[in-house]
Structure formats: C-alpha cells, structure tokens
Structure 1
Amino acid sequence: MLYKAYEIQRSLLNASSAWASMTADMLNDARNPWAGIGPSQMMASALDVFAHAAAPRGKPAFGIKVIHVDGTAHVVKETTVVTRPFGHLKMFTHAGLPKDAPRLLIVAPMSGHYATLLRGTVERMMERCVVYITDWADAKYVPLAEGVFDLDDYIDYLTGFLEHIGPGAHVMAVCQPSVPAFAAAAIMGANKHPCRPVTLTMMGGPIDTRESPTAVNDHAITKPHVWFKHNVITEVPANYPGEGRRVYPGFVQLASFMSMNLGSHMMSHYKLYQHMMQGADVDADATKTFYEEYRAVCDLPAEFYLQTVDVVFQRHALPKGELVHRGQTVDLGAITETALLCIEGERDDISGIGQTRAALKVTPNLPDDRKQYFLAPEVGHYGIFNGSRWRNSIAPVVDQWIAKFEKKAKGGKLTAVA
C-alpha cells in the first residue's frame, strides 16, 4: 500500500507542478502588462518554487563534457565498460591524461541517490586519474528474474569491477560503501588477489558507528531489526519492470533525510523565492541544480538495506571482526599492503567524527606509513566530496596519497600473485 499511495500522490503532484509552472510562465510573459510588478511577481516566484519542488525527477546524466586541467580544455569521454543487473561500471577519461595515469575506482553509495550525486567528485579526480565509478541500478527497474542483491553481492561486484580495471588500481569509497570496500580490500588481501587496490580512501564512512553516534545511527539502534522490515520495506507496483521486488523506496529515504534538516531545507526554498524575486538568477539556479540532484532518488534492494542495518549499524560486525562473506569471516588483519586514507568532516551529521578513522585502528598488520587521517575543518557530510572545500582542500590530499603509492606500486612494491 505504501508504494501505491506514493504513486497516487506523485501523479497528483506532477499535474500540480505542470499547472504551477505554466501559470508562472504566463505571469512572467513579456506580453503580460503586470509581469515583474508587485503581486504578479510574488505569485510567479512562489509558483515557480512550488513547481520545481513538486516536479518529477528521473535519473540524472553525469553531463561532464569538457574538463579544464592547468588552463587547458579537454573533451571528456564517458563509457559504460561493465554492465550487470544491479549496477554498471562507468569510465571517464580525456586526452590530457598520460598513458600511465592512475586508475581510480570511485564507489558511489547505494543509499537512495544516483551515482551522479558524485559528479563533482568525478570531475575533480579526473584531472589526474582515469576515473571509474559504480553506477548502481534503481531496484524497481530490475526484474525479479535477476535474483536478489545483498551485501555479499555488493562486495563481489566491487571485486569484479577491480578485476576489470586490472592490477594497480586505487579505490575511493564515499560514505556507506566504505564498509563493503574495506571488506573487499581485506578479502582480496587475504587471497593475495593481483587486483587488490593499491590505496583505499574512505570518506565519511560508517566503519564503526559506535564512535560519535549521530541521529542516523541512533535511529538504527533504537528500533529492532524487524521494525525496519515491516515499516520501510514494500513491494514494487505493477507499472515497473521490477514488479513484486521488495525494496526500500528512495522516496522514503529522501523523506527521512529531509526531515532531519527540515528547517534548513525550508530556509533554502525561502531563499530561492527571494532570489527569484530579486532577479538573482545565478543564485536561484544554483539552488535549483542542487535540489534537482538531491531529489532524484532510487530504490534499494530490501536484502541489501536490511543486511546493512543489521551488520553495520546494529551489530558493528566489521570492526568487531565478525563480518562474514560467503561463509568466511572477513579478516581485516589481511590488509598488509593496501594504503588507507580516512577522511572525515568536522560538521558531518551523518557519519560522526571517528567512525571512518576507526579503520586505522582495526588493521593491525598494516604499517603506520600506509595509514593517514584527515579531518576537514568546517565541512559537513556533503562537503566532503563536493563543493569548493572538496576541490581545494580535500581532493589535493587524495591526489598526494594516490601519487605517493602509485610510484611505489610501479616500483614493484605491491606484490602481484596470479
């Protein structure tokens, strides 16, 4: 019933959004003698804000056409290199990169938003690296015949993507995928896999949510596991290819995140209204662009979501050495060569300070010179991987870390065992 009720509401809002947009256009039309005057301008701006807020959102495109490196423009080539039911692997490159440029796999969260939320991350890292990124599927479009997708499958997908990229790759996990990426590095390290990552950068990830718990963490531990199963999991309705698949709907996650900072979101829309009234188109467009991406959400497979709640947020299995993958315990002590960089934001209200840094404590066999921690001052969760502070303060740290161990890997210090 939850999904069906949402679909009815979505249809009504779509019609209302179209009506509001059309009316705003009429009020702003140059042929309207009252356009831009007093009440007419106020009404047009208010309707435009509502139309934008209620408009339907599909999967956004990365849309990175040109990149500027050291003052030179280069055309960007975007390619899907691996296609799998629950997620593809995309590659971004340009002619300005040297043939031996580092290869970086960015692991995007499977947490309700599309991989395009990391557009700014991709664009910045592409300046020095051939960038690959996980492009996770919207579960409502995956037919039941494709089976289930859980945390074990997520780890296997990452391993397969690294095998496609080949030996000597680097990995950057943003937020939630820090856990499966960390586990994959341990499993590949234990197996002396030739494609195990040279470096693993984890940014705002919930490695150990017992450290500085946030409201998100508290929500996960104050309710029993069965509560999540019965209250936020629903079936995909008949108008989608994934009919009958049990999912955690993206619209539910978006509602929960919006409610956490409802005041700031309301203020953002009020400022959007003010900017439109003042004719500050650049500021208004920036706000619209952010929310177009933020409101574009997708569904998660129920198995993956429920397992993540249980393993990561309730039992803390990975840092306690109790995470099991395909019947085998994940041994973090097997990480002996993959260099770890942990990045956190001082104002992160999703992953508290210390949750990502915990990875450095639970890898006893990794030398200290292969561990680094960086706390980004005055940076919230989103700012860790996007925006000016990301580009100017955080990304250079990642660049230096990758460059340092890229040289060591090319010098043959990372043992490759076939």
Structure 2
Amino acid sequence: MRYMMTYDLMETIRNTNQWLGASALSMASYPLFSMTPNPALQWMAAWGEVTERSFQRMVVKPDWGIESITGEDGRDHLINVETVIERPFGDLIHFAVQGREEMDRRVLLVAPMSGHYATLLRSTVKSLLPDCEVYVTDWHNARDIPVSEGKFDVEDYTLYLVDFMRELGSDLHVIAVCQPAPLTLAATAYLAGQDPKAQPRSLTLIGGPIDPDAAATEVTDFGRRVTMGQLKETMIQQVGFKYKGVGRKVYPGLLQLSSFMSMNSERHSKAFSDQIMRTARGEASDHDPHNKFYDEYLAVMDMPAEFYLSTVERIFKGLEVAQNKFTVRGHKIDIGAITNVAVKTVEGGKDDISAPGQCVAALDLLTGLPDSKKANYIEPNAGHYGIFAGRSWRNNIRPLVLDFIDANSEAPAKRSRTAPKKKKKATAKA
C-alpha cells in the first residue's frame, strides 16, 4: 500500500504545481493590474503559463497531429489512423492515406516502450508516409490497463510483434527504433523457426542495444551497477486509485521523467528560464521550438513493472539476446535461423544511449544469413534522437533505408494479411 500512496503522492505534487501555475497566471492577468504595469506581474504570469502547461503535459497523450500529406499527384490527401489489431497493452495502427492507391513499400515501425508514447516517432512517420504504407506499434499507458489483463514482460512484447508481423504478411519491411531492436530481432528469429513464410523481407535496427556490453554508456553502467532488488524497491510502485489500472505494479512515468531531466538538469533549467522570459516579452507561441519539443518530451507513460525489470535483467544484465540465449515461453530462439531476411543496422557516432557497436553486434549473431544481406551504417555526427527523427534521419539515413527496402523488395510475395478491422470504434482521424 505504501507504494500506491507514493504513486498518488507524486500525482498530487504534479497536480498541485499545475494548479499553482494556473493560479499565478490568473492572478497576474487580473484586468485591474493593467492600470499600473508591473514587470513583476508580467514575469509571474509568464511563469504561471509555462508551469501550468508543463505539468499538464505530463499526463496527456500527445496527438499524432498528422492530418494530411501531399501526394505525387500534387493533391493533399487526408490521413486516417486505423486500428488493425487491438490488444490490452498495445495496438497495431495504420496511417491510411485517403484517395491514394496502396504503396508497394509496406513498413512496420516498431516504437519503443521506454517512457514515451509512440508519438515520439511522429516526424519519422511523417517522413515515411509519402513513400510507404506505414504501420506503427502504439503501446498503451500501463496505468490505464486493469490488473485483470495480466502481466506484460519482454516475452509478451516479443509475441505481440510476432502477431503483428503475421497479420501484415511477408511483403513487409520492419524498422525497429532504439529499445525494441533486440526484441524485434528475436521476434523475426521466432518466425524463422516457427513460421518462415511470415518473416518480413527486411529488418532495419536503429540505435538498439543488441549487445549493451559492446560499448559502455551511462545506461549500461546503471544496469550493471544496481541490483534487481534495488530496482524493485526504488523504481516500482503501484498505480493509485485515480486510474483504471489501480493496483498494477509499474515503473511510473513521472519517476522516469525525473531521471530523464536529471541527466541534463542544467540544460533543461536554462531552457525553461529562457522560455519564461520569452513568454513575458510576448515572443513565445503554442508551436515555438520549446513547446514543440517539451510537449512531447514531458508526456510520459507508466511502464509495466515486469517489462521494465525483465528488460534490465535479461537484455542488459543477462545479455540473452547478445549471447543468443533468449527464450520465449520455454522455446529457445535461434537468431542464426534467420537465413533470408535482409538486416541493416544504423548507429549514431555521438549516440550516448546506445553507443556505436551495440547495434551492429546483431550482424555477428546472424550466422545463417549471407553477407550480401547484411548492411551497417554509422552517421558520424548524429546523437540518439537524430538517427531516427532529426536532420540526419531526413537527409542521410532515410534515403539509405528506403534504398535498402527497395533492394530487398523484388518479386513481392502474395500478401496474406487481413483487412483493417473497420468495426472497431478505436478507428479515429489523426
């Protein structure tokens, strides 16, 4: 119970700060005060506006915000987000472009379950839509999932990916970003052994910790330094009474956010103080660079405790994927069983989360795959975020990934997927 009380205490602190910001903004904006202009009141209103917005974003799932794209015909085509598979812990969604024939390139973008929503890949999705049919794994916030739905660990995550790939058929190209790279590799190997016809045509792994020990970072050092008992005691809490998942053990999003912020506390503090001054001078806007970044960065989700703990224990400490020892429901997965899925790894030269060497380690595990189907690329000056969403992705990496997809798309297999389930009410406009 004390962990449930701690969860509610964190939410109370967040809610209080949001209320303080709203109160400061309302008080400093009182019309009577405008008769005697006071810079202190302007600063107070600006502080309130920035504070209220920041703490409010922490419990709001961002919208995809992708309303339309311009097609080759020069027309704007509306985008609908359709739910293909609906599951308790995550959905498979499709960005359907209205009025456009289905594209030959069909891409499954595997989003990380690492504290942020799948909308973190918004710019990645937007950059692929003009050239591809894009499907995305949309993971749910664990606080909204009732305890009755059971657990969700790395094995369940892997089986979700297996089901998603089977649903979309073999004429598919998979791109895994960051954290899901080792599990996506494992899911592909699972299909290679159990259902070879359902394997995708290509697999692109971007900045993922296939072998965390290949290059040390703060993340890998932390995973080695702490014990599983310490993690259970300090990081795991129970969802409070406010949400549907009351009683579920989670790694809270607010706790994750505090860790994210502490890694670059000086930079974040300066960013917010500068934004307050810009707001006071009337130079800020809803979609300025600060709000555009932090609206997404501050929106965090709770992670199922068993998923977080099993990731640390089996991927980082046990190196089960790196040593080809990963099992799913007692079934030993052999990565060497992949013999005809082209695999490309992408790394950033300045990636301080998954350092160069961690992702390319996947190629050494693919003992059954000919070298002609293996590829690796390092973007010299890109950090972790840049290799899938920044300028480096748009200008350099994306064209290479599309070329890799095209090179492995000859004589597409007959599609064996089912149509999107139109009857589901989860279908909505982006």
Q: Does TM, normalized by the shorter one, top 0.5? A: yes
- The equivalent position to 2:209 in structure 1, one of 206, 210, 221, is 206
CA distance in 2, matches of 1:278, 1:272: 10
Contact kept in structure 2, 1:185 and 1:196, CA below 8 Å: yes
| Corresponding letter in the other structure for 2:54 | A
Higher mean alpha-carbon deviation, 136-145 vs 263-272, is at: 263-272
- 1:352 is matched with 355
- The equivalent position to 1:219 in structure 2, one of 210, 219, 222, is 222
Higher mean alpha-carbon deviation, 140-149 vs 39-48, is at: 39-48
Question: Residues 284 and 241 of structure 1: is their aligned pair in 2 closer, same or farther, counting only changes over 3 Å?
Answer: closer
Contact kept in structure 2, 1:97 and 1:128, CA below 8 Å: no
CA distance in 1, matches of 2:190, 2:413: 24
- 1:19 is matched with 23
| Corresponding letter in the other structure for 2:365 | V
CA distance in 2, matches of 1:397, 1:212: 25
Shift of 1:279: 4.2
- 1:189 is matched with 192
Shift of 1:93: 2.4
Contact kept in structure 2, 1:203 and 1:343, CA below 8 Å: yes
Question: Residues 18 and 40 of structure 1: is their aligned pair in 2 closer, same or farther, counting only changes over 3 Å?
Answer: closer
- 1:3 is matched with 7
Shift of 1:387: 2.7
- The equivalent position to 1:316 in structure 2, one of 315, 319, 339, is 319
Shift of 1:373: 1.1
- 2:48 is matched with 47
| Corresponding letter in the other structure for 1:268 | A
- 1:104 is matched with 107
Count of aligned residue pairs for this structure pair: 409
Contact kept in structure 2, 1:250 and 1:300, CA below 8 Å: yes
- The equivalent position to 1:65 in structure 2, one of 39, 62, 67, is 67
Q: Secondary structure at the match of 1:194?
A: helix
Cα offsets for 1:272-313 (capped at 9, x unmatched)? 234335544469722112111111111111111111000111
- The equivalent position to 2:337 in structure 1, one of 334, 337, 341, is 334
Contact kept in structure 1, 2:90 and 2:137, CA below 8 Å: yes
Q: Secondary structure at the match of 2:288?
A: helix
Question: Residues 34 and 370 of structure 1: is their aligned pair in 2 closer, same or farther, counting only changes over 3 Å?
Answer: farther
Higher mean alpha-carbon deviation, 380-389 vs 118-127, is at: 380-389
RMSD of aligned residue pairs (Cα, Å): 2.3
- 2:243 is matched with 240
- 2:291 is matched with 288
Question: Residues 409 and 352 of structure 1: is their aligned pair in 2 closer, same or farther, counting only changes over 3 Å?
Answer: farther
Q: Secondary structure at the match of 2:198?
A: coil
Shift of 1:40: 4.4
Shift of 1:63: 2.0
| Match runs of 1:77-92 below 5 Å | 77-92=80-95
- The equivalent position to 2:182 in structure 1, one of 175, 179, 193, is 179
**Where does structure 1 lack aligned partners over 5 or more consecutive residues?**
none
- 1:405 is matched with 408
Contact kept in structure 1, 2:71 and 2:130, CA below 8 Å: yes
Contact kept in structure 1, 2:22 and 2:48, CA below 8 Å: no
CA distance in 2, matches of 1:137, 1:283: 26
Shift of 1:15: 1.2
Contact kept in structure 1, 2:80 and 2:96, CA below 8 Å: yes
CA distance in 2, matches of 1:360, 1:21: 55
CA distance in 1, matches of 2:146, 2:298: 24
- Larger RCO, structures 1/2 (Cα 8 Å, 6+ apart): 2
| Match runs of 1:132-171 below 5 Å | 132-171=135-174
Contact kept in structure 2, 1:17 and 1:55, CA below 8 Å: no
Question: Residues 40 and 313 of structure 1: is their aligned pair in 2 closer, same or farther, counting only changes over 3 Å?
Answer: same
CA distance in 1, matches of 2:287, 2:130: 28
- 2:425 is matched with none
Shift of 1:90: 0.7
CA distance in 1, matches of 2:293, 2:108: 24
Shift of 1:190: 1.8
Shift of 1:41: 3.8
- The equivalent position to 2:366 in structure 1, one of 363, 366, 369, is 363
CA distance in 2, matches of 1:31, 1:69: 52
Taking structure 2 as the reference length, the TM-score comes to 0.89
| Corresponding letter in the other structure for 2:190 | I
CA distance in 2, matches of 1:30, 1:108: 50
Shift of 1:271: 3.1
Q: Secondary structure at the match of 2:321?
A: coil
Establish whether residue 115 from structure 1 lines up as the match of residue 118 from structure 2.
Answer: yes
Shift of 1:39: 4.2
Shift of 1:177: 0.5
| Match runs of 1:232-271 below 5 Å | 232-271=235-274
Taking structure 1 as the reference length, the TM-score comes to 0.91
**Where does structure 2 lack aligned partners over 5 or more consecutive residues?**
416-430
Question: Residues 100 and 49 of structure 1: is their aligned pair in 2 closer, same or farther, counting only changes over 3 Å?
Answer: closer
Shift of 1:348: 1.3
